[in-house]
A and B are shown apart, each in its own frame.
Chain A
Amino acid sequence: MSDTTAATQHAEHAAHPHVNYTKIFVALCVCTALSWVADEAGGWGLIDSKRMIAVIVLAIAVAKAQYVMRYFMHLKFEGKWKYVLLLPTTILACGIPLALAPDIGLHYYRPTTPQTRVEIAPPTELSPTAAPHESAKGSAPEHGGDH
């Protein structure tokens, strides 16, 4: 590590306004406690909707992430380069969830219609009841056979 880089670092550090990290830590602890309260609120009967609790808890997580990124990671005080570096990766990161969502997330497959191609024997004359049964099973490949 050269003296030049150390000096640059010191200069950068000096450029950062002073942050009261203890206050940020307390805020993070309060947020964690609020998550617990939101979780327990369902049990106390204060919030009926599970979806609402999930939204509250995730919103608190986002708030905590904001504190950590802005103050602990100093992103609040960094230049515009932070967007150049982080936005593309964040957008690309959404690729896999978005790619999986139509096939997996939208309830294509159920235990009764598995994601496998069912090999169906041709109906025989000796089993007249087999036809409707097989035609019902035959719908499975329509959902999942090609995946």
Chain B
Amino acid sequence: MAHTPPRPAVKMGLPIPNSKLGMWLFLGTEIMFFTAFIGTYIVLYFGSVDANGRSAWPTDTHVTHINVVAGAINTFVLIFSSYLVVVAHEAMGQRNFQKAFKALGGTFVCACLFLGIKGVEYGGKISHDILPGRIAETEDEALDKLVREMGAALDARLDSLIPGDQPIHIKQSQAAQVGDAPRLLESAQKSLAENPNNPEMREQRDVMQALVDNATQVAIWRTLDIEYGSLRDAVSRNALTLEEAEHRLHELELAARVQVSETESLVGPFVDAARLETLAHSEHPEEASAPAHDDDLPHLAEGEVAIKSGGEWKVYPASNVKLLQDNVYEDVLSSVHHPQVILYGNIFASTYFLMTGFHAVHVVVGMILFAIVLVQGPKLNERWTEWVENSGLYWHFVDLVWIFLFPLIYIIPGV
């Protein structure tokens, strides 16, 4: 029987390592993943028009809090990190593992820097409530949001002033007893002494004790609650424009508790010459309403102050007035946002956070890939060359996505 030489094996597959092929296939799916988001953003950008058919996508950076400088710095950071990765890959090929280790360390630092800058950007949006589903797109929604936020902030403040798990409407009626609290405390203490194991009497005693201890704060809370009730009623009667509501909020922010005579102290919007000057030159866009209401502010001579009480400004010599507490409503109003209308703001926020959020997740995954190499330390050797190449390919793709996100999100809308 003649010996037949074995047929040479058929060469299958692509002329690249399987791991590299796997990474490229994964990047192929990633192209579809990010194009879906970016493409949808572009389509929505053009499709979001006003009643006249003109593009109404929110582009004002004072409104969207898009930080172009932060985006530009992050672009540079990612490009530099991409460069470091390719240097690391080259160094691995040259068996210069120390150089590769340093370059990968630099890449990791760049990734941390990128996420830090992104965090600052996100912080700006969160503090201004530029979040999906939370943005008012009409004047009515803005007024409604203002009322809701102020109501929630008042409830939270009262909850912190009066102890116990009782519902908020019970606490509201308890707060109304603040003027009578010393007598009620005495009575509650007597009742508790007679029935020391009665939890309801203990709770009543604790509530009255808190009212006595926080009498001033509860009284201030009640004055703000009255202002809130007036605002809420005006909004429900549709008797308030957004500008008027913003003006009211601004006045509440100026409120102080001052002693104007030995027997009389007032709580209300308070201004002195320095504060008037600040209001007139306020550069903060959210306080831009202040100069618009210049007519409502008093004209003060040197050494005079004014407090608004009963709807009218009362001017006093500064020497006769003792400022007991400035910004009395700060605890409540710090969590109330200035009302503003951003048409298509919610879809803007959704697309922004979807695109940049998923990109940031990819950055974190890249950091994990590099960290696995970095923990090898001095043991880094040629066996990691493929890993570095593949994670490098992944990192370049993350950079590629940002190369398109930067003009599309940061530059073009603001042009």
- Residues of chain A whose beta carbon lies under 8 Å from any beta carbon of chain B: 1, 5-6, 8-10, 12-13, 21-22, 24-25, 28-29, 32, 35-36, 39, 42, 50, 53-54, 57-58, 60-61, 64-65, 68-69, 71-73, 78-79, 81-82, 85-86, 88-90, 92-94, 96-97, 100-101, 104-112
Interface stretch, picked from B144-152, B245-253, B402-410, is B402-410
A58 to B415 Cα, complex, angstroms: 13
Bound CA span A93–B382, Å: 36
Residue B358, interface by CB 8 Å: no
Rounded to whole Å, the gap between the CB of B289 and the closest CB of chain A is 25
Which B residues lie at the A interface, using CB under 8 A? 14-19, 24-25, 28-29, 31-32, 35-36, 39-40, 42-44, 46-47, 49-51, 53, 68, 72, 75-76, 79-80, 82-83, 85-87, 90, 93, 343, 382-387, 389, 392-393, 396-397, 399-400, 403-404, 406-408, 411-412, 414-415
Give the docked Cα–Cα distance between A65 and B387 (Å): 23
- Smallest CB-CB separation from A60: which chain B residue? B407
Q: How far is the CB of B137 from chain A (nearest CB, A)?
A: 8
Q: Which 6 A-B pairs have the closest CB atoms?
A: A97-B39, A93-B35, A89-B28, A25-B83, A104-B47, A105-B43
A-B contact pairs, 12 of them (CB 8 A): A10-B382, A25-B80, A25-B83, A32-B75, A57-B411, A58-B412, A72-B399, A86-B28, A90-B31, A92-B32, A100-B40, A110-B50
Q: Could you tell me the distance in whole angstroms from the C-beta of A103 to the nearest C-beta in chain B?
A: 8
Chain B residue, CB-CB nearest to A59: B407
Please name all residues of chain A whose beta carbon is closer than 8 Å to the beta carbon of B17 when the two chains form the complex.
Answer: 5, 8-9
Q: Give the complex CA separation of A112 and B50 in angstroms.
A: 8
Across the interface, which residues of B come within 8 angstroms of A21, CB to CB?
83, 86-87, 90
A12/B87 in contact, CB under 8 A: no
Contact B389 A9 (CB under 8 A): yes
Of the residues B14, B29, B80, B87, contact of A81 by C-beta under 8 Å: B14
Chain B residues with CB under 8 Å of A81's CB are 14-16
Chain A residues near B47 (CB-CB < 8 A): 104-109
A35 to chain B, nearest CB (A): 6
User: In the complex the two chains form, is A12's CB within 8 Å of B16's CB?
Assistant: yes
New A-B contacts (18) at CB < 8 Å, excluding given A22-B83, A42-B415, A72-B82: A6-B386, A10-B385, A50-B415, A58-B407, A65-B400, A65-B403, A69-B396, A79-B16, A89-B28, A92-B32, A93-B32, A93-B35, A100-B39, A100-B43, A104-B44, A104-B47, A105-B46, A107-B46
A-B pair count, CB < 8 Å, reads 156
- Chain B nearest CB, measured from A109 CB (Å): 8
Residues of B within 8 A of A104 (CB): 43-44, 47
Q: Is the CB of A85 within 8 A of B25?
A: yes
Specify which chain A residues have a CB less than 8 angstroms from the CB of B50 in the assembled complex. 110-111
Return the contact of B415 from the options A22, A39, A69, A89 (Cβ within 8 A).
Answer: A39
List residues of chain B with CB within 8 A of the CB of A24: 83
Closest A residue to B80 by CB, please name it. Answer: A25
| Measured CA separation A124–B68 after assembly (Å) | 56
Q: In the assembled complex, which residues on chain B have CB atoms less than 8 Å from the CB atom of A111?
A: 50-51, 343
**Residue contact B404 to A13, C-beta cutoff 8 Å:** no
Cα A90 to Cα B383 with chains together (Å): 33
Please give the distance in Å from A143's CB to the nearest CB on chain B.
13
Residues in B with CB closer than 8 Å to A73 are: 393, 396-397
